[in-house]
Chain A
C-alpha cells in the first residue's frame, strides 16, 4: 500500500486541488472563464508537501501553475474560484486571475524566473528583521533556462538568504520535452553555487512529505538557501490544447498518479471525499455567482495631479551634486533603518563608480549590499525588499545597464500594486546615471530615459544641477510606489546653481518633484523651452546666447518628474509664447520630447510651433569630436532654434 502512511487530511487537500482545477476546466469549456488556466493535475502533492508545511508567517512566490500552491498555503478555495470567475470578491479582485494571485504572504506572477530574485529580496527582508520566517519560490523545469535564476542562486548562496527554491520537474517546457532544451544536470546547477540540494517525487508521497519538511527546516534553522527538485508529471496539457505528448506516456503516469492510486485502493473514502469537496465547490460557486465585477473606478482612478503654480526663488548651493546625494543617504540611513542601498561596486572605500555611496558601508554595513554584476537580481531583490516593508534604493551603475533589469521594472515593480488589487505596495527606488560627454562610447553614454517613461504606476524623475537633489530623494523616500531617479554622470561634479544667466529669475514650484522655471525678469517670453536632467545645465549656460542669436526671449522649464507628465505649467507657458521646443539628450523618435509635445498640444486649441532637439539616432561614438556632434550641444541647439524661426 503506497499511501498507508499518508494522513487523510493531506489526501483531501490534494483532492480539493484536483477537483477545483477540474472545475476550472469545466467552466472554461462552458465559456465562463476569461483567458486560460494552467492546471497542476498530477502535481498536487508537491503543493501539499511544500506550501502545506510552511508556517503562516512564511511566504510563497509562485508561477503560472500556482493554484495548488495557493490552496495548500491559504486554504482559500472560494477566493480562488471567485478570482478565476473574474469577481471582485476574488483574491486579486479578478484582475490577476489564474496566474496572478495574492493573499497574505502568497504571491504569484506569470513571468518565468522574475519572481526568483523578488522572493530572494522578500526573504532577505525577513532575515534583516530577524523574524525567523522563510520562504519558498516555486519554479518549473522550463524556468531553468532563465538567467535571472542563476544570478539569484549566486546571491542567495553568497548572502545566506533563507529561501527554498522548489523546482517542479514535469519534464516538459510547455510542449517541448526536456531533452530538447536542457543541457547537463539540474541539481548540479545549485550545487555549483554551493546551495544544499534535495530531491524527491510526487509518486512517493510519504517520502516527499518528510523530505520537504526536512528542507524547510534546513532553510529555517541554518538561515541558508536550499534547492529541492521534485519530479512529477502533469496529467493535463500545459494550458489548453497544447499537448503533443503520446497517449501511452500520459496513460502510464495516470496509472502511477498518487490520487488515482488512492481511488483504486480506497474507493469508498475517495467517493466520500469527492462528494464533500464537490458539494463545497458548488456551494462556493453558488455564493459567488452573483458577485459583481470590479468597477473601473475601483481598479484605476486617474490621479488629479496639478502642478502647483506657487514659486520659490532658487538659491545656489556651494556643494557638488554628488556630495548632496551622498549626504542625503548618510543622514537618512542613520535615521531610517528601512533604507537599503544596493548595487554593484558600492562598498567603501571605493564608494561606487560615481562615489554616491561613499562611506555608506562604513556607516551602515548591514544596510548596504554590494552585489555581483547582476542587474536583474539587483532590481528583483529590491522589489522583494520593498514588498516586505523596506525602502530599497537600487543603483544601476550605468543607465545603459538598466535594460538588464527591465523585466523587474515593467513586469514586477510596475504591476504588483494593480494585479494584486491594491493589496501590496512596492515602494522601490531605482537610481541610475545616464548621459554622455565623457567619451565612454556607445554602451556607457546613452540616455535611455525614453524606455523608462510611461510605465504604469512608476514615477520617473530626473535630477539636475539647478535644484538641490536632496529634495528629489526626500520625495522619492516618501513615495509609496516605484520611483526611477535618473542622474547624469557629468552633473555629479557640478555645484548647484553655480551659474545664473543675467536678467532671468530662477524659481522652483512646490511640487513634490519640483519643476524649475527660468524666465526673463520683465519681458514676456516668446519661446518655451522644456528640458530636464543633464541638458538643464547646458541650456542654463547658453540661455543668454540663445536670446542674442535667435531674438527670442525664452522661458526655460526644467522638469523633475518626466513621467507621468503633468503638462499644466508648460501649457500655460506655451499659451503665452506660442512656441514649444523640447530638448533632450536621448534621441528624438518616441522620446520625452514627443511625449511632452503631445500632452501639451492635447490641451491647446491654438496652433503652436513645436520642435524636438535631441541626440541623433545612432550609437554614441567615443571619439570626442563625433560625440559632441551626435549629442545636442550648444552650437546645434542654437542653429536648430534659428532654423525654427526662419
Chain B
C-alpha cells in the first residue's frame, strides 16, 4: 500500500496555531478522486477547503470538531483500501489536537476565602491567577513576594480555552469558534498580568467634527482618521506606547503600525494601517475604508493582521460614554474612542496601558497632547469663537458664497467694505479672478 498524499493542516495565517474541523466529506476507506473536496476547516478568520490531490482511498485522522494544530495529519490517501481497524479512536486522539484530550483543562480558578481576603487587602485582581486551578492564601503570598516573575510564570500556564465537560443537565454547551478563541488568547496575554491601568481624557469636539466632515470622503462625524494620524505622530515621541513587555525586557517597535479594531459580525479583528506616521489623514481614511471592506468580504491579507504596534478601538458608533479597552498581545497600550456627546460637544478617550512598560504620568502626557492635537483641528481655517450657527451665517459680501460652501481650505478674510462696514470676503473675490 502506497501513500499518495498526506493532508496536513496548512498554516493559513500566523495568527492561527490551530484550526477546527468543520466538516469531513467522506467516510474512512471511501474512494476519492483528485480534486474532490475532502474537508473543511475553520481558521480564525475564514473557512478553508481541503482537496484531494490524487485518486485513492481516504483515511481520516480527525473528527468533526477537533482542534488541529498546524501540520497535524488530517487525512491520508492511499492506493489501496487501508485497514481501518488499526487506527483506534485512542490513536486518533493522540494524532489530533496536540492537547491531551484526557486531561481536563482548568475552568475558572477557585479562590479560598483566605486568598480572597488577602487579595482584597493587597488590591490584587483575580485575573492575575488566570489558568491556576486553585488559588490559596499561599499562592497570593507567593504572587506578592514573587511579583512579575510569578506573573509571567502564571501567564505561561494559560491555555487557549477549550470547552470543558460540564453538568449538561444545567447548561447547553456551544463550541467557541476559532476566531473567538484567538481573541481570548490575544487579550489574555497582557491583561492576565493584571498590571493594566486606564486613564481618560475629554476632548472638546466643538468645531472639530464640522471641520472633519468637510475634509473627509468616507467618514462623517468620526474622529477615527484624525486620531489614527495624530496618535501615529505622538507614538514617535512616546515610544513606550509603541512597545510590549516580553517577560523580562521591554521591546520597542522600530516602526509604527497602528491597528484599528473592527467588529461587524465577523469577529473582533484589528486591522493594520502600516507606517501610519508616514500617511496623511486622507490616506489613512482611504486605507481604513479599504481594510474594512476586505474584512467584510473575508479577504483580509495575513499582513493586515500582523505586526500591529498600537491599537485604536472606536466604539463611538455604539453610543458608549466611556469604556476600558483591552490591550492586545504584544502591545503596551490601546486607545478607546467613545461616542461624541453632541449636546456637550465632547468625547472621552481612554488609554489603557501596561504598567510593566510605561506609567500613568507618561500616559497622561500622551493623552493630553493627543487631546490638544485633535482639538487644534477646529482652529484650522475658522474662528474658534464662532458658533456653529454663526458659521453658516458667514457669507462673502461680494459673491454671497457661504463659508460652509467654500472648498479652498483657506477661509474668508475679515474686511471693511467700501461703505465702511465690517464684513467677510472669500479668497476668489479678494484676489479677483
Contact = CB atoms under 8 A, between A and B. Distances in A.
Interface residues of A, number: 20
B111 A548 contact: yes
Contacts of B102: 313
A505 B107 CA distance: 12
5 closest Cβ contacts across the A-B interface? A503-B133, A551-B112, A551-B114, A521-B133, A522-B133
Contacts, number: 57
Interface in B104-133: 104-115, 132-133
Contacts of A520: 133-134
B106 A549 contact: no
Contacts of B361: none
Contact of B112 (A313, A521, A547): A547
Interface in A532-556: 544, 547-553
Contact of A505 (B103, B112, B157): B103
A94 to B, nearest CB: 54
A551 B106 contact: no
Contacts of B114: 551
The dominant DSSP class at the A interface is loop
B137 interface: yes
Interface string A503-545: 1110000000000000011110010000000000000000010
A302 interface: no
A499 interface: yes
A313 B165 CA distance: 13
Given A313-B102, A499-B167, A551-B115, 14 more contacts: A313-B103, A502-B110, A503-B104, A503-B109, A503-B110, A505-B103, A523-B139, A526-B138, A547-B134, A548-B112, A551-B113, A551-B138, A552-B136, A553-B134
A549 to B, nearest CB: 6
A75 B345 CA distance: 119
A522 B106 contact: yes
Contacts of B165: 500
A521 B159 CA distance: 13
Contacts of B104: 503, 505, 521
A522 B157 contact: yes
A103 to B, nearest CB: 53
A14 B383 CA distance: 141
A551 B137 CA distance: 7
29 contacts: A499-B167, A500-B165, A502-B107, A503-B106, A503-B107, A503-B109, A503-B110, A505-B103, A520-B133, A520-B134, A521-B103, A522-B106, A523-B132, A523-B133, A523-B134, A523-B136, A526-B138, A544-B110, A547-B136, A548-B111, A548-B112, A548-B113, A551-B112, A551-B114, A551-B115, A551-B136, A551-B137, A551-B138, A553-B134
Contacts of A521: 103-106, 133
A578 to B, nearest CB: 13
Contacts of B112: 547-551
Contact of A522 (B111, B115, B132, B138): B132
A505 B106 CA distance: 10
A506 to B, nearest CB: 8
Nearest to B101: A313
- Quick one: which of A313, A503, A550, A552 has the most chain B CB within 10 A? A503
Contacts of B106: 503, 521-522
Interface of B: 102-115, 132-134, 136-139, 157, 165, 167
- Quick one: which of A499, A522, A544 has the most chain B CB within 10 A? A522
Interface string A19-57: 000000000000000000000000000000000000000
- Quick one: which of B104, B105, B109, B167 has the most chain A CB within 10 A? B104
Nearest to B131: A522
A521 B110 CA distance: 12
B135 to A, nearest CB: 9
A500 B170 CA distance: 14
B33 to A, nearest CB: 40
Interface string A486-500: 000000000000011
A201 B113 CA distance: 83
B310 to A, nearest CB: 34
A201 to B, nearest CB: 75
Interface in A327-378: none
B110 A548 contact: yes
B6 to A, nearest CB: 30
A504 B105 CA distance: 9
B110 A547 contact: yes
Interface in A106-150: none
Contacts of B132: 522-523
A548 to B, nearest CB: 5
Interface string A143-159: 00000000000000000
Contacts of B157: 522
Nearest to B135: A523
A549 B167 contact: no
Interface in A450-509: 499-500, 502-505
Contacts of A526: 136, 138
Contacts of A313: 102-103
Contacts of A499: 167
A494 to B, nearest CB: 14
Contacts of A505: 103-104
Contacts of B108: 502
Contacts of B105: 521
Nearest to A500: B165
A240 to B, nearest CB: 68
B411 to A, nearest CB: 66
A548 B137 CA distance: 10
Nearest to A544: B110
Contacts of A552: 136
A553 B136 contact: yes
Nearest to A545: B110
Nearest to B114: A551
A543 to B, nearest CB: 10
A553 B109 CA distance: 12
Contacts of B137: 551
